[in-house]
Structure 1
Amino acid sequence: MAIRLTIEGARVLAPDGWTDALHLADGAVVDAAQPRRVRLDGWLVLPGIVDLHGDGFERHVAKRRGALKDYTSGLQSIEAELAANGITTAYLAQFYSWEGGLRGPEAAERLCAGLREYRTQGTDMRVQLRVESHMIDAFPDILALVERFGVPYVVINDHLPHDALEAGKRPPRINGQALRAGTDPERYLQRMKDLHARRDEVPDAVSCLVEQLHARQVRTGSHDDADAAARRAARALGLRVSEFPETMDAAQEARGAGEGTILGAPNVMRGGSHAGKVAAEEVIAAGFCDALASDYYYPAPRHAALRLAGQGMVLDEAWRLVSEGPARLLGLPDRGRLAPGCRADVVILDPADGSVGATLCAGRVTYMAGPVAEALIAA
């Protein structure tokens, strides 16, 4: 049930700057004060985090010795982690890949079906489908899956080790990957070779798939653009969002064309890329970043925004990278801002350490703890 509440005394991030009160009613931000009031002196009241890409959910749905009988328990655990980290809208980045296992077509089907049946506590959880570009024979099935479950966002990946395959070498770590996917390593290697052999067919097939996705109002993007040429190639295929560009040139190319750029929040937390790619903070400083995503760690967006603010970036601007920026990229005008008429998606933070005191999704409490919980209960 959505609460009717006025929060007073806090630092509230409104679209035009900071204010000291926020009014919530019927799941939305409103103009009028509400009879039920709570004072949260000194606390930060910010728009809920919109996470465009997160695969931290995988560990919650990974089967081990038959422990997971259905997706309900896993999705409950995912939602709890999201809420505890201030995330109110989450795109679960699910592979549709030749890699199999948790990244295979069957896993994608299970997640979509499980999410459709799940009774959420309030968090808006959606699927981002990560399609491997060389699975061209599966494109009709992928399109059918998108239609059946209303998948709103598709990203094209390519994780084939092309250099090794082209040189006739055995890719590293293939035995472990095959066993995790539940298949024989030699069969796994042959699958890679067969897909690599069809690389000349991929651009036309992907372009056709993207055109069909756009006709169904599905957002599309590329992943790990290596340089400006890679971004131009992705643009030629119709992919208008650049997710995790690996170089400054790739990010600049996207910005120059008016395209959205998403970077990994863990990169900001760490102070650089774990894989030796461009540091997210450098791209942000250059003005080429629109949004930060959790990638593999759900606490990361919150911590990254606060780290940027601690290093001199205005908190308003830093927080927009995890709220308004991602909402705009994916066409969600009703969230990412605490403006009248927008969803009451709110995260309340302790300014001393950035910990979450409460999270509200469309005016429903999905997480609360400590002094904020005591204040809300007493109000």
Structure 2
Amino acid sequence: MTLELTLQGADVLLPEGRLVPGAELSLAEGAIVADRAGRAVDLSGYLVLPGIIDLHGDGFERHLAPRRGAMKQMDEGVIAAEAELAANGITTAVLAQFHSWEGGLRAPDYADQVFAAITAVRDRVVTDILPQLRFETHMLDDYAGLPQRIAAAGVGYVVFNDHLPHDRLAVGKKPPRLVGQALKAGRNPEVHWQMLQDMHARSDEVPAALDAICAELGTMGVRLGSHDDQNAAMRTEWRDRGVRISEFPETLEAAEAARAGGDHIILGSPNVVRGGSHKGNVSAVELIAMGLCDAIASDYHYPSPRRAALMLARSGLLDLAGAWDLVSKGPAEVLGRDDRGELAPGKRADVVILEKDSQRVAATLSGGRVSYMSGDIAARFLG
């Protein structure tokens, strides 16, 4: 059931960067409306902000498979993941699932199960959950069936990865942790090693295969992104294929090339919170300071988008409106969803309510429905 309410007394982040103390925000039929609606709720002492749109997160994996073989009902795992999403103010979540030679939780068959579970629970969750496929570029034998697989799963967003250790493979050296990786995938280590070598040996076939699959997915209306762009040349190659989203560029050069070409740039919010990349890549804070960011995503940690935006505002690098745009309006534009991302009449009633002093999440509404509520604020809503 959607709420019909008028929120009063809070500091509300309205469009055009206006943080208005004591503003009114009315909700009806799942949307923000211009006129007062329903019962008034006093939210003095709170901040009311647009719901967080998370463009890329794989933190759901621990809910779907907390231990090997422990979770047999995958739909219950998606529901558990939604609870964490909502508790962190996320109202639209892109679940990034691998289709990878790495096997295990990243295997193609496992991806099919994840997407089936997302579909199965769609009517039982409040958060808008969207599937993303992360496809390993050197899985050449899987290209032929990929469009059909994507269509059947209702996937509208595909990102291309290449996690093969090419430097080591080129000189015949086994990568570290090969045995553990093989066993995790359920393979004999020697079979796994040969598979890596075989994929690397076919690297010359990959560019043409990518040209063809990107063209086909583009005609299907699938949104396309590349992961971990390393330099300008790599970003240009992807753009030429119609891949216009750069996820987590690893260098300043790659990010500048994305901006120069008009591509969207997504950075990781844990990088912002940590003050740098855990892999030694370019700092997300530095890229944001240079205007080389359209959105920040959770990556592997769902609390980080909220924390990152608030840290950017506290630091003075951006004002609150500019910082919050990176987790709301900016991601909505990347997704092409003009029905959300800001608290304007006609938009979805996607709202996160923070305690003003502690800035913890007190409540989350997605499409005008409560997905999370905790503490004293419940009494105000219940009247």
TM-score, normalised by the number of residues in structure 1: 0.98
Unmatched 5+ stretches in structure 2:
none
Partner of residue 19, structure 2: 18
1:339-358 to 2 correspondence within 5 Å? 339-358=344-363
Equivalent of residue 127 in structure 1, options 127, 131, 136 = 131
Give the whole-Å Cα distance in 2 for the aligned partners of 1:134 and 1:35: 55
Q: Deviations over 1:154-200 (max 9, x none)?
A: 00000000010000101111111111112211111111111111100
- Structure 1's consecutive aligned runs of 4 or more residues displaced over 6 angstroms after TM superposition are none
Partner of residue 285, structure 2: 281
**1:122 Cα offset (Å):** 0.9
Matched letter for residue 50 of structure 1: I
Contact 2:27–2:33 (8 Å) recurs in 1:
yes
**1:374 Cα offset (Å):** 1.7
Partner of residue 175, structure 2: 171
Structure 2 residue 13 is matched with structure 1 residue 9: no
1:233-272 to 2 correspondence within 5 Å? 233-272=237-276
Equivalent of residue 327 in structure 1, options 322, 332, 350 = 332
Partner of residue 81, structure 1: 84
Matched letter for residue 114 of structure 1: A
1:1-379 to 2 correspondence within 5 Å? 1-16=1-16, 17-19=18-20, 20-62=23-65, 64=67, 66-118=69-121, 119-312=123-316, 313-378=318-383
Contact 2:8–2:25 (8 Å) recurs in 1:
yes
Q: Which moved more, 1:178-187 or 1:360-369?
A: 178-187
Unmatched 5+ stretches in structure 1:
none
Q: Which moved more, 1:177-186 or 1:316-325?
A: 177-186
**1:236 Cα offset (Å):** 2.4
Q: Deviations over 1:318-366 (max 9, x none)?
A: 0000001011011011111111111100000112222000000100000
Give the whole-Å Cα distance in 2 for the aligned partners of 1:22 and 1:184: 59
**1:42 Cα offset (Å):** 2.8
Q: Deviations over 1:173-230 (max 9, x none)?
A: 1111111112211111111111111100101101111111110110001100011122
Instruction: Give the number of equivalent residue pairs.
Output: 378
Matched letter for residue 337 of structure 1: E
Matched letter for residue 241 of structure 1: I
Give the whole-Å Cα distance in 2 for the aligned partners of 1:354 and 1:217: 38
Contact 1:44–1:349 (8 Å) recurs in 2:
yes
Give the whole-Å Cα distance in 1 for the aligned partners of 2:192 and 2:66: 21
Give the whole-Å Cα distance in 2 for the aligned partners of 1:65 and 1:240: 36
Give the whole-Å Cα distance in 2 for the aligned partners of 1:81 and 1:162: 36
Contact 1:7–1:38 (8 Å) recurs in 2:
yes
Contact 1:127–1:151 (8 Å) recurs in 2:
yes
Give the whole-Å Cα distance in 1 for the aligned partners of 2:314 and 2:374: 24
Matched letter for residue 340 of structure 1: P
**1:101 Cα offset (Å):** 0.6
Matched letter for residue 333 of structure 1: D
SS at match of 1:332: coil
Identity of aligned residues (%): 55
Structure 1's 146 and 186: CA in aligned 2 closer, same or farther, altered over 3 A?
A: same
SS at match of 2:250: coil
Give the whole-Å Cα distance in 1 for the aligned partners of 2:95 and 2:274: 22
Give the whole-Å Cα distance in 1 for the aligned partners of 2:191 and 2:339: 48
**1:65 Cα offset (Å):** 5.7
Give the whole-Å Cα distance in 1 for the aligned partners of 2:273 and 2:357: 18
Structure 1's 65 and 269: CA in aligned 2 closer, same or farther, altered over 3 A?
A: closer
Contact 1:347–1:360 (8 Å) recurs in 2:
yes
Q: Deviations over 1:23-58 (max 9, x none)?
A: 000000000111311111131101101000000001
Contact 1:136–1:206 (8 Å) recurs in 2:
no
**1:372 Cα offset (Å):** 1.4
Contact 2:112–2:153 (8 Å) recurs in 1:
no
SS at match of 1:234: helix
Contact 1:358–1:367 (8 Å) recurs in 2:
yes
**1:63 Cα offset (Å):** 6.1
**1:62 Cα offset (Å):** 1.2
Contact 1:164–1:171 (8 Å) recurs in 2:
yes
Give the whole-Å Cα distance in 2 for the aligned partners of 1:52 and 1:334: 16
**1:242 Cα offset (Å):** 0.5
Q: Deviations over 1:60-107 (max 9, x none)?
A: 111636431221210111000000000010010000001111001011
Matched letter for residue 161 of structure 2: N
Give the whole-Å Cα distance in 1 for the aligned partners of 2:296 and 2:104: 28
Q: Which moved more, 1:144-153 or 1:20-29?
A: 144-153
SS at match of 2:281: coil
Give the whole-Å Cα distance in 1 for the aligned partners of 2:253 and 2:365: 38
Give the whole-Å Cα distance in 1 for the aligned partners of 2:220 and 2:77: 30
